[in-house]
Amino acid sequence: EGVVLGVGGASTTLAGITVRLPVASALDLGTGSGIQALHAAQHATRVTATDLNPRALRFTRLTLALSGAPEADLREGSLFEPVGDETYDLIVSNPPFVISPGARLTYRDGGMGGDDLCRSLVQEAGERLNEGGYAHFLANWQHVEGEEWQDRLRSWVPRDCDAWIVQREVQDITQYAELWLRDAGDHRTDSAEYAARYDAWLDEFEARGTRAVGFGWITLRKTAAAEPSVTVEEWPHPVEQPLGDTVREFFERQEYLRAHDDAALLAAHFKLADEVVQEQVGLPGAEDPEHVVLRQNRGMRRATKVDTVGAGFAGVCDGSLSAGRILDAIAQLVGEDPVLLRDRTPAQIRLLVEQGFLLPASE
């Protein structure tokens, strides 16, 4: 199977979530026709591109040449084998992540069982990153009977890396097998061959205890922090691509939160992010809403439930008063004990900062 895939939706998604900082070195693992390498060439001095398929490397050379990009260091081989113990400031990979029985298509199935290929890639990326460097992957992962999918992904994250993992979609195993059989051109769903392939696929899932398959984004950032932060979340809603800056800012805020305990948070100043609106849900005419939602119109387009203190707090954040001073004012307004309020609110502030509703303001 020498097929080299063109640029698809997945390629564009990965290019969109990639942090685009000027760097010295970048690695595109499983380069295919070279689309990620071409993007990396815009902001990396040296680009290395690998693929198991030698034809892909010839495509990549052509892609770069046609676009007038500098030549890349092209290496044939599997996973990290062609780069040995070299390290990079940026690693990107849209790997052959499809979980399927047997390895039929090189561009799609890595030839490893289940989600082992994605797991190895993520696990082995840590030691190939320079400090502060990012690694971005698209991946599929199994939802296995008796295991939380979040725990499975946490176990993939290498030491010395912060991680942000976003599950974008989940499909049950029948949908999944149908999708990828169709994708590979097996349209004749009434044929005996189709039925056999379909059954083999479901048998394989059965044998692995797999109930569903998750698809999403995995970003690592190499850190020297004693306690790296690992966030695994589900966000299936529309987002605003390109998200590269949003991804970078997410990791920067994680670093900020790590460096600020609750007392430091209360002494700090925050600004409400741009284009955040408040939505209230409740009975028409009722004085108090049943719940309040803050919604971001940019980036991840997040929405989060807040209580009235949280909403009031966010509304006042223009960077001029410290968080503690704002809480004291709210306490007075609602007749609550300011000490108790200072005690219970930092957790909520932390969440609003983590999700990008509140941004640390320079004091």
Ligand X SMILES: C[S@@+](CC[C@H](N)C(=O)[O-])C[C@H]1O[C@@H](n2cnc3c(N)ncnc32)[C@H](O)[C@@H]1O
Q: Which residues bind ligand X (CB under 6 A)?
A: 5, 7, 11, 14, 29-32, 35-36, 50-53, 56, 78-79, 94-96, 106-107, 110
Which long-range contacts does 42-49 make (Cβ < 8 Å, 24+ apart)?
A: 42/69, 44/89, 44/90, 46/73, 47/72, 47/73, 48/72, 48/73, 48/74, 48/75, 48/83, 48/86, 48/88, 49/73, 49/74, 49/75
Query: Which residue's CB is nearer to ligand X, number 35 or number 306?
Result: 35
Residue 86 near residue 75 (C-beta atoms within 8 A): no
SS3 142: strand
Query: Which residue's CB is nearer to ligand X, number 110 or number 126?
Result: 110
CB of 173 to ligand X, least distance (A): 21
Query: Which residue's CB is nearer to ligand X, number 107 or number 164?
Result: 107
Residue 10 and residue 17: Cα distance in Å, rounded? Answer: 11
Query: Which residue's CB is nearer to ligand X, number 101 or number 312?
Result: 101
Query: Which residue's CB is nearer to ligand X, number 57 or number 326?
Result: 57
Query: Which residue's CB is nearer to ligand X, number 5 or number 349?
Result: 5
Using Cβ positions, the residue closest to ligand X within the complex turns out to be 32
CB of 36 to ligand X, least distance (A): 5
Phi (first) and psi of residue 162, to 5 degrees: -75, 155
List strands edge to edge, sheet with 23-29: 73-76, 44-51, 23-29, 88-93, 129-144, 210-222, 161-172, 230-234
Q: Which residues are bridge partners to 26 per DSSP?
A: 47, 90
In degrees to the nearest 10, what's the CA dihedral of 362, 297, 141, 191?
-160
CB of 94 to ligand X, least distance (A): 3
CB of 97 to ligand X, least distance (A): 7
CB of 91 to ligand X, least distance (A): 12
CB of 28 to ligand X, least distance (A): 6
